[in-house]
Amino acid sequence: MQFIDEVTIWVKGGDGGRGCVSFRREKYIPRGGPDGGDGGKGGAIILMAREGLSTLLDLRYQQHYRAAHGGHGRGKNQTGKGTEDLIIPVPVGTLVKDAETGEILKDLATAEERFLVAKGGRGGRGNARFATSTRQAPRFAEPGEKGEQRRLQLELKLLADVGIVGHPNAGKSTLLGRVSAARPKVADYPFTTLIPHLGVISYGELKTFVMADIPGLIAGAHQGTGLGSRFLRHIERTLLLVHLLDISADPQRDPWLHYEEINEELGKFHPSLLEKPQVAVLNKIDLPVVKERVPQIRDSFRQRGIDLLAISALTGEGVDEMVREIGHRWERLRGTDHG
């Protein structure tokens, strides 16, 4: 299944039914009064956040939505039938924007949450509504109101508690596969991860958090270089970032430069990302060339006020300690750590 996280759609509420012009005609009642009924209300269009959906793919293939119009009024004061609203299911975490102005209209962040995006038109009044003592035989009725129409831009932002960031091939997908049941594609070439993945991580008795594996970032990611700008939005909702470092390709390079480079891209995309707490993690210590530098790198980060964890996502070394640290940090951020 394709991962589609942005789509533009056109929606239109149903038009109201028109009112009826009719007069009562019965035997022995030559001057029956007006009895034209009102038109029915047109259907509205509603977006509803639904669990189990993880992509906007269906909306990519159908981009026009039109609710049914209301029934027309009839004689004998019969009101036209109102039509049902059209409900469009979207994934939890969908951001709704006005496509013309860019204004954020709604953030559908909870399951079953609904948002009215296009009202249906009110039905027109029949001629019976216009009868007065001085106008006893009105020969006109109202047309139904037009339903609202607008273009919407929908953006999906994954609802993850923790996001993994780092350069391509830093081992993010391998790590997610190690600590959760998620099985992202892993291979030995850049940009193996083409879509974000979510995994549920257990770190204590009945304690879990959701972690997202974000495709690798490179210099210029905030401007669209690589895959970065398309997926950086998915870490905007997270409370905590896991900053995964990999020096295996260039063991002599200062890992602090890697750390600063990723943070620079985060800040350029949105300054608020730099305000998120981070857990710095050095990966691939199963490689001797990395293992031997762990004490030196830890000292370098500690001098800058950062405690560095060291793991091997491939073998699992240090991973349990890292998961516990992430879980406890996440709890404190949520204000649920009472220990």
Instruction: Look at residue 4 in the predicted model and tell me its pLDDT.
Output: 65
Q: Is 105 exposed, middle or buried (0-12, 13-18, 19+ CB in 10 A)?
A: middle
| Residue 339: predicted pLDDT | 43
* The pLDDT value given to residue 324: 92
Look at residue 207 and tell me whether its pLDDT is greater than 60: yes
Banded model confidence at residue 228, pLDDT cuts 50, 70, 90: very low
pLDDT reported for residue 29: 66
pLDDT score of 224 more than 60: no
% of the chain exceeding 70 in pLDDT: 86
SS3 annotation, the chain = CCCCCEEEEEEECCCCCCCCCCECCECCECCCCECCCCCCCCCCEEEEEECCCCCCHHHHHCCEEECCCCCCCECCCECCCCCCCEEEEEECCEEEEECCCCCEEEEECCCCCEEEEECCCCCCCCHHHHCCCCCCCCCCCCCCCCCCEEEEEEEECCCCCEEEECCCCCCHHHHHHHHCCCCCCCCCCCCCCCCCEEEEEEEECCEEEEEEECCCCCCCHHHCCCCHHHHHHHHCCCCEEEEEECCCCCCCCCHHHHHHHHHHHHHHHCHHHHHCCEEEEECCCCCHHHHCCHHHHHHHHHHCCCCEEECCCCCCCCHHHHHHHHHHHHHHHHCCCCC
The domain segmentation of the chain, as residue ranges, is 6-156, 162-334
Give 162-334's CATH code, choosing from 3.40.50.2000, 3.90.950.20, 3.40.50.300, 3.90.10.10.
3.40.50.300
| pLDDT, position 230 | 57
Q: Does domain 6-156 have CATH number 2.70.210.12?
A: yes
- Report the half-sphere exposure of 173 (CA within 13 A, side-chain side): 19
Given this model, what pLDDT does residue 266 score?
84
The whole-number pLDDT of residue 271 equals 86
pLDDT of residue 221: 41
The tens digit of pLDDT for each residue in 260-277 reads: 988 888 888 788 888 999
Q: Supply the pLDDT for residue 97.
A: 95
What pLDDT was estimated at residue 192? Answer: 41
| pLDDT confidence band for 329 (50 / 70 / 90) | very high
Give me the chain's average pLDDT, please.
85
Determine the pLDDT at residue 51: 85
pLDDT at residue number 150: 96
- Which pLDDT score is estimated for 337? 47
Residue 31 reports pLDDT greater than 90: no
Tens-digit pLDDT profile for residues 83-136: 999 999 998 889 999 999 999 999 998 999 999 999 999 999 999 999 998 888
pLDDT in tens, 275-297: 999 999 999 999 999 999 999 99
Over residues 212-233, mean pLDDT: 56
pLDDT, one tens digit per residue, over 124-137 is: 999 999 999 888 88
Question: What CA–CA distances, in Å, run from 243 to 159, 170, 214, 256, 280?
Answer: 18, 10, 11, 11, 5
**Position 68 pLDDT exceeds 90:** yes
- Taking residues 152-158, report their average pLDDT: 87
> How far, in Å, CA of 245 to CA of 256, rounded?
9
pLDDT at residue 63 greater than cutoff 50 = yes
Q: What is the pLDDT of residues 165-188, one digit of tens each?
A: 888 888 888 898 888 865 544 444
pLDDT at 309 over 70: yes
User: What pLDDT, on the 0 to 100 scale, is given for residue 74?
Assistant: 95
**44-48, 190-194, 335-339 — which is least confidently predicted?**
190-194
Q: How confident is the model at residue 225, as a pLDDT? A: 43
